[in-house]
Amino acid sequence: MNCCKRTLAFVTCFFLVLQLTAQDSLNVYPSHWWVGMKNRNLQLIFYNRFKNLSVDKGVIQSAHPAIKIKKLHKVSNRHYLVVDVEIAANAKPGKYKISFGGIIRSEWNHVFFELKPRSKQNGKTRIQGVNSSDLIYLKMPDRFSNGDAGNDRIAGLRDQSLDRSDYFKRHGGDLKGIQNQLDYLQQLGVTALWLNPVLLNDMPDRTEHGYAFTDHYTIDPRLGGAKAYHELIDSLHKRGMKIIQDAVYNHTGIEHFLYRDMPDSSWFHWWPQYTNTTYKDQVLMDPYAAAIDKKRMSDGWFTGVMPDVNQHNSFVANFLIQHAIWCTEEFGLDGWRIDTYAYNDLAFMNRCNKALLDEYPQLHLFGETWVHGIPNQSYFVRNKYNIPYKSNLPGVTDFQLNLYGIVPALTQGFGWTEGVNRLYLTATNDYVYTDPTKNVLFLDNHDLSRFFSMVGEDIAKLKMGIAWLLTFRGIPQLYYGTEILMKNFADPDGKVRLDFPGGWPGDAANKFEPGGRTPAENDVFNYVSTLANFRKTSTALTTGKLMQYVPEDGVYVYFRYNAQQTIMCVMNASEGEKQLDLRRFAERIKTYTKARNITDGTIADITGRFRVPGKTVWVGELQP
């Protein structure tokens, strides 16, 4: 009996300590900063969900001139305190005491805010930017490889699912699993990784995709947390590879602490009754659009579990911008892909982009613009239009060259505006962009049907798409598993997010190894690897100009060239062989007489008529 009483007392005391610790849990966002930043003004948000921070007649003090208190803001929710500070130009790395409270000094809060030294490798081996010399590999961390089974489930998080037989449950892939496969990715020719969001998604269900953040400053522990993220990125940079983080500014998850315990209601958009976005980006540029349609597009919620963030609120804007800068500096990011770009407040996006590029001029930013029409897409990126709204976004995900380019080129018969003519016609409109080479090309992604399925599981056509991807203008992006014939349509979209075979112990086949792949899979893997690794050292393909010719008889010819190298690409989308009179291309062929086929090394005579097999993109380097 006494033993039971002692146990009960111990348990009671234990939970009391936990409660007291939780009540004294004071967080500051951002959690730390760096000396020597170009913009030395910072807005700190202090938060304690159990305690009143905004006491009457509150005072805040800095114990050192390295951090100057400029202004104290009180918000309606007293769990928060917002403070403007200035980091001294001569501040040294260290931990600096900030104190705040009311009349009773013994109840004051004390925080040691750390200023860290900036990496001397910024712009060199880290934060290099991403450009047309890169090949981006997009992967969903939860579905690629499980390197640490110990983090598959994390106690205390809402989603405890772990079921690989269910498309919509978590499967256990993580950052360590990705790190374990870097040899595979380098062999393939990949130079940059774009991961679907890695921030904490403490949602009750459907969390495998990561687009509903619940804490901006925590890397999801089910992926391995900040330690694993640092280790992965450090490993990438040591190999000369790059990392792209997925940004979501438009919304949060409904379980985000900023929504569940709001500083005040103005942090999110509200309607008399639930209102979804219309997804109609056209109203943003439509000279005849109604104001309510514009508001519903921008301020409507993306889904019922993704509250729409009010970026007109200066505190919100500062929180998002500072987080982007914090992540870039903390992890050494080389680029940002910006989710649902068109749904954000566009003035805010210009401000956010500028803040990042002012601090890191070499950084690359590209936005998701799943819109229809070249005027629509180009509206959201740097363009040559003389219109009131001018975007400063460097690049976009080029949905036009996907939906109205390579897909119809390989799925439609040849016609005046069909087949390869559609690809040619779409490319002719590049004149609207300030720099189309900063746009990201792709065959598919985590939201679209896999390209192999789109072309009827025809390997020849898949190779055509891959050849175009790796030889056209822009930054190519390959979706994980394309190189091993992963397939399926986007309805339901879970099927385009299946696990990479071999990423889990006990998988029936290991597609990371040649012996685990079928002959057809090895054929496509080797095809990608040959072109991608050639591309790394090809100045014509990475930085050269593009010249295209009007398609004739189902054949589309384009050249990538500079003073050092000329690459000829011949796309024959027809079923049968075609003959070309190469004299038509004398402007680019000039005095060259031969061409080396990049994929098989054979030498072709290019002085007369030229035969191209059906369902082929012939890629050749011209030689004297």
DSSP conformation letters of 67-81: EEEEEEE--SSTTEE
d(CA 277, CA 343): 8
Amino acid at 4: C
Look-up of token digits 């990705």: 178
Sheet holding 440-442, edge to edge: 395-396, 364-367, 335-338, 242-247, 192-195, 136-139, 475-479, 440-442
Whether the Cβ atoms of residue 28 and residue 326 lie closer than 8 Å to each other: no
This prediction's pTM: 0.95
Q: What is the pLDDT of residue 301?
A: 98
CA–CA dist 465, 455 (Å, integer): 9
If one counts every other C-beta atom within 10 angstroms of the C-beta of residue 88, the result is 14
Q: Give Cβ neighbours of residue 610 (< 8 Å, ≥ 6 apart).
A: 570, 579, 580, 581, 582, 604
Delimiting residues of CATH 2.60.40.10 domain(s) in the chain: 24-116
Return the CATH class of domain 136-398+437-536: alpha beta
Residue 28 CB contacts under 8 Å (≥ 6 apart), including other chains = 44, 45, 46, 47, 111, 113
Q: Which residues pair with 580 in a beta bridge?
A: 610
Predicted confidence at residue 218, as pLDDT, reads 98
**Tokens matching residue 32:** 């730390």
Question: Distance (Å, rounded) from C-alpha 532 to C-alpha 164?
Answer: 32
Whether the CA torsion 95, 101, 103, 104 is positive or negative: it is negative
Residue 557 structure tokens: 């010819």
Alpha carbon distance 578, 178 (integer Å)? 43
C-alpha to C-alpha distance for 428 and 336, rounded to whole angstroms:
27
Task: Supply the CATH classification number for the domain 24-116.
Answer: 2.60.40.10
Closest CA to 355 of 406, 311, 318: 318
How far is the C-alpha of 183 from the C-alpha of 463, rounded, in Å?
23
Contacts of 389 (CB under 8 A, 6+ apart): 284, 285, 346, 379
> Residue 251: which of 209, 317, 309 has the closest Cα?
309
d(CA 81, CA 68): 16
- Position 446 scores a pLDDT of 97
Q: Is the distance from CB of 20 to CB of 43 less than 8 angstroms?
A: no
Decide if 249 contacts 320 (C-beta within 8 A). yes
d(CA 98, CA 87): 13
- Measured CA to CA, the distance from residue 216 to residue 220 in angstroms comes to 10
Give dist(CA 448, CA 152) in Å, integer.
27
Q: Which residues of the chain have pLDDT under 70?
A: 1-24, 55-57
**CATH class of this structure's domain 545-623:** mainly beta
- In which residue ranges of the chain is CATH 2.60.40.1180 found? 545-623
Residue 294, helix vs strand vs coil = helix
Q: Which residues are catalytic?
A: 339, 368
